Structure 1
Amino acid sequence: MNASAAFSQSSYALKKKKQALQREINLLQKNANLAARNKRLTISQINALNTKIGLMQDKITVINSEMKNLDNQITENTHTVQNLKGQLGELKASYAGMMRFAQRNKNSYDKMMFIFSSSSFNQAYKRIKYLQQFGEYRKKQADYILGKQKDLKYKIVILDKSLKEKTSLVQEQEQEKNKLGESKSQQSVILNKFSKQEKQYRQDIATRKKKQAQLDQQIRAAIARDIAIAKQKAIAAAKAEAARIAAVKAAKLKAARAAAAKTGNTKALAAAEKEAATESTASTSTNYLTATPKSAKLSSAFESNRGSLPWPVSSGSITERFGRHMEGQASYTNDGVNIETSAGAMVRAVFNGTVSIVNNQYGRYFILIKHGGYYTVYQNLSSVSVGAGDAVTTKQAIGVVANDEGRPQLQFQIRRGTVPQNPEAWIAK
């Protein structure tokens, strides 16, 4: 791949990334404008502003990469233009020499004399061919010069376009830096306000932790019920298998005894008695959620899609990440991620599975979907379109996101059994 093609691909990728970042920034800003009606500052607003600042910094980084690529292209095209000018000058000088030679020998008499002055027929033939080739070469050189002039004109147009694009990028970079400065000033004001009202925010976090703990307790209880049901089925299946094996052994022993009574051969009977005395070694799986072939296959398919699962909403930004968080002196743990999206956004299942529970708490719904040994959790829904026991498919709509503290947010979790996983390691980048 040449440098120009590599630049084209890289430039396209950077433009797409910049557009994606701008869409996220616009979404957060739109939600901020709506939430501005609520005069009370919230943790969600602080997280969204921090996310927006991070996205703006990423966009400036992308613009810097675009400018670097353009600088490389401008340098390359400048060298190409200079080389083309040099080649064109040499071609024109060579062509001028040919034209002078042709002018001096344009007389047909001179050409005939040139041919007839040959010392042999073979030499005369070669001189005829030379004159023909000279004429053809002169025409080719003229066409070649025209081609080089066309190439030079095209490269100059591209160079001019790149210079204009760089000027536009410099202006865009300056605008983004100004916007970033304004957002950082806003962040400073908000953090100052937060420090003055930290007692209130500690109470908010305590309330949030209490609500989330109750939800998590329901989720763990539901998963525990699934495990208990799966365990019962696995034990029942193991007992049935043991009974089947015992019946087969009993039948063999009965047949061996009958044969021994007829023939007097006790060797086969001894072997059958030994087999019947051996206890069954059939055991149940310790991972009851994947005890059946169907659930094991689904669980394996879910695992194989790690890093490429679709997002639970079609567009949005992660405003709060997985793990432990500190807000002033208060701390809390997020077992998933908070995704800020557009108002009324559809929530989608990220993989095939079965709805384990649908529940309403504090006026909001949450859905737990089972995928073999894995679960996905969708919290803060204003309405749902599935019920417990329903089979769902990848990207199937399951509900509508609700507003949380004035902003449309989905709390999304992935669990292996009851153990929380970082969703960012599972969903597509």
Structure 2
Amino acid sequence: MKLLRYFLFLFILCLGSVAFGQSSSELKRRKEALTREIESLNRSLNQTSSSKNLSLKQIRALNAQIRLREEKISTINSEVRLLDNQISDNTNVVRSLQAQLDKLKKEYAGMVLFAFRNQSSYSKLMFIFASQNFNQAYKRLKYLQQFSEYRKKQAMYIEGTSKDLNIKIEQLDRNKQEKSNLLSDQEKERRTLGVQKNSKSKVLTGLSREEKKLKQELSQKQRESATLNRAIANAINREIEEARKRAEAEARAAAAKAKAENKEAPDAKPISRGSSILAATPESAKLSSDFLGSRGSLPWPVTNGIIIEDFGNHTYGRNVTTENNGVDIKTAPGSAVRAVFSGEVAAVQNFAGSYAVLIRHGEYFTVYSNLRTVSVSRGQKVTLKQNIGTVITDAVDGTTEIHFEVRKGAEPMNPAGWLAN
């Protein structure tokens, strides 16, 4: 039973170490990814700030960098909490192993003392020959043999427990050192975050002083956004109208066929005038269901990128606000754009030198704008991760950003909840 408890104890220790290793590795990978994204934004900020011209892109990059650094600090906090739990577990294990080792040593010392007192062959023989009968003599002989074997096992237990104890003590020391390093890293990140927030405050002050210029820049962006939204709405309404007409034509055809065959016409179902008509056919309904089922796991429209502006309303300065119906993703110059799900190209629009692509996935749509080139056309079927074009690079500040949206019918949805983390 002692041997069974010993191996069960080791098994539980191994399971705990494996679980800790998996969680720790995931946090480290996330922290490294955040560090790479922050460094990329640093290069971008250095590029935009060197022009000495304050712009929305600069403050957006600062906002994204602050958000990423806060997320990195949160990740470090998670690592510290995980290490605290591991340190606590390992401390308990060390105490348990130490107590077990002390007990084993005490038992072994008692056996050694007994063996020393009865070490002569004469004493062993007298112990056996003093038996009252043969059966008792046999049991005493077996007892001496088992006692010798048990003493050897106890020595093995002591040796094994000592090794486990040393391993756990070393692991505990590593945990404490790692925690110390993480706390230093955390303090460094907090100081840097403070510097970045001060930098943002200065930029915002500069933006406030140049509010007139900023509003002009914003007005241009809003005009571009409004043009894109109208084009998207028109394309989606066209898809809805075409689907409605097809449904009405199919209903008339079914009624005419029933009349020609002197059969009772099938019950006419009301035809929706909303976006649900886009999922009226079994094929479209399945595509809609599959797209919805992929929420949270869709691939990004570019292989490498950082969200530079989130979905929703944003305020810059005191009186300047913007609304984003999707997310803006900073990526590398010349990056290929890919479809995040299989579907059909509903529209390709040209906006004064850049393109936007609208892909239908049943009742859902994805939008990819700020493209330099496009390799698909309206009505074309596309597959998951198929390249549909390349991102354009701003000729003034050298930034490369793609605008991406997810819509249910014409209603914008937050793409961050759809894309894989």
TM-score when scaled to structure 2? 0.88
From 109, 119, 143, the equivalent of 1:130 is: 143
Q: Does 1:408 align with 2:397?
A: no
Q: How many pairs were matched up?
A: 402
From 163, 173, 178, the equivalent of 2:191 is: 178
Change (3 A) 1:117 1:230: closer
Partner of 2:284: 295
Alpha-carbon distance, 1:150 to partner: 1.1
Residue 376 of structure 1 aligns to a residue in which SS?
Answer: strand
Distance 1:330 1:141 in 2: 77
Change (3 A) 1:280 1:385: closer
Residue 407 of structure 1 aligns to a residue in which SS?
Answer: coil
From 253, 257, 282, the equivalent of 2:268 is: 282
- Cα RMSD between the aligned structures? 2.2
Partner of 2:362: 372
Alpha-carbon distance, 1:200 to partner: 0.9
Q: Does 1:93 align with 2:106?
A: yes
Alpha-carbon distance, 1:205 to partner: 0.9
The range that moved more, 305-314 or 182-191, is: 305-314
Contact 1:413 1:420 (8 Å CA) reproduced = yes
Change (3 A) 1:89 1:420: closer
Give, as a single letter, the amino acid of the residue that structure 1 aligns with 2:223: K
Distance 2:281 2:82 in 1: 54
Distance 1:281 1:113 in 2: 106
Residue 137 of structure 2 aligns to a residue in which SS?
Answer: helix
Contact 1:353 1:393 (8 Å CA) reproduced = yes
Q: Does 1:424 align with 2:413?
A: no
Contact 1:365 1:379 (8 Å CA) reproduced = yes
Partner of 2:6: none
Contact 2:105 2:158 (8 Å CA) reproduced = yes
Give 1 or 2 for the bigger CA radius of gyration: 1
Change (3 A) 1:114 1:230: closer
Distance 1:239 1:79 in 2: 77
Change (3 A) 1:185 1:235: same
Q: Does 1:75 align with 2:67?
A: no
Contact 1:27 1:341 (8 Å CA) reproduced = no
Q: Deviations over 1:119-156 (max 9, x none)?
A: 22222222211211111111111111111111111112
What percentage of aligned pairs have identical amino acids?
49
Distance 1:38 1:363 in 2: 24
Runs of 4+ in 1 over 6 A off after TM superposition: none
Q: Does 1:167 align with 2:180?
A: yes
Contact 1:235 1:284 (8 Å CA) reproduced = no
From 212, 230, 236, the equivalent of 1:217 is: 230
Structure 2, unaligned stretches of length 5 or more?
Answer: 1-11
Structure 1, unaligned stretches of length 5 or more?
Answer: 253-274
Change (3 A) 1:125 1:212: same
Residue 261 of structure 2 aligns to a residue in which SS?
Answer: helix
Q: Deviations over 1:127-186 (max 9, x none)?
A: 211211111111111111111111111112211211221222122112212221221222
Alpha-carbon distance, 1:280 to partner: 6.8
Q: Deviations over 1:266-318 (max 9, x none)?
A: xxxxxxxxx6xxx8743462244334333333223223323332221223222
From 321, 326, 334, the equivalent of 1:331 is: 321
Distance 1:227 1:94 in 2: 84
